[in-house]
Structure 1
Amino acid sequence: MNFTTMSDQAVANELGNRIEQMRLERNLTQQQVADEVGLSRVSYARLESGQAKLTNVIAVLRLFGQLAILDQAFPVVAFSPMEQLKLQGHQRQRASGKRQKHQSLTDKGRKKDGKEELDW
């Protein structure tokens, strides 16, 4: 299955379908799984339909003994050796994003009918 061509909701629906398949393979009802993880049956049914909170998905994966799939889905990514040398023991707290040159006030103005308007 090619998830990259699917919408976010379609991916969520597929995840719900796969969790439903795990439940059926264990011959459990929605109510039984919901009771085990502390959800209402309605909340669990929403999970299978792709409308779940992430914490609920994690609880169900834990119940089914499938938490290891999260390591496959979200592997730990280390900084490159060069980046680690630059940090020299400092743990990165945030991304810097792309830096832009500061614009002067006149650059920020817009022209309308030949007159300049400031963007406040």
Structure 2
Amino acid sequence: MSDQALASEVGGRIEQLRLEANITQKTIADQLGITAKTYRSTIQGHGKFETMIGILRVLGKLELVDAFVPETPLSPLMLMELKGRKRKRAAPAKEEVVSMDDEKDDLGW
């Protein structure tokens, strides 16, 4: 499934939540301070993530954001290694080191 198709699928599910709550698109748009066109665009997968979160807030379904990307606690070993600091960067993949002995064995003939 493409990113756009997945975004449209999520938007469709949120739209179903709106219908089940019996709230109009205009009501949600007015509460968020956006136009109905922006609401429809967001539901079709073309809007900002921030707008989608606002829609979920109006629908009373903000807990779905936590289910979407749950918080992952650090392992105890990682906490000890970081000494209480939060990690801010990912480390680059370590490259395989070629020793001089390996180069002598393979002359490339």
Aligned residues: 96
Give the TM-score normalised by the residue count of structure 1. Answer: 0.73
Structure 1 residue ranges, 4+ long, deviating more than 6 angstroms after superposition: none
Distance in 1 (CA, whole Å) between partners of 2:22 and 2:87 is 46
Tell me the equivalent position of 1:67: 62
How far is 1:46 from its partner?
A: 0.3
Tell me the equivalent position of 1:113: none
How far is 1:97 from its partner?
A: 1.7
Q: Which ranges in structure 1 are unaligned for 5 or more consecutive residues?
A: 1-5, 102-120
For 2:9, the aligned partner's letter is E
Give the TM-score normalised by the residue count of structure 2. Answer: 0.79
Higher relative contact order (CA 8 A, sep 6+): 2
Q: Which ranges in structure 2 are unaligned for 5 or more consecutive residues?
A: 97-109
Deviations 1:65-109 (A, max 9, x none): 1011111111111222111111112222211121448xxxxxxxx
How far is 1:53 from its partner?
A: 0.2
Bigger fraction of residues in helix: 2
Supply the RMSD in Å over aligned alpha carbons. Answer: 1.5
Q: Does 1:56 align with 2:51?
A: yes
Tell me the equivalent position of 1:91: 86
SS of 1:92's equivalent in the other structure is coil
Query: What percent of counterpart residues are identical?
Result: 40
For 1:29, the aligned partner's letter is T
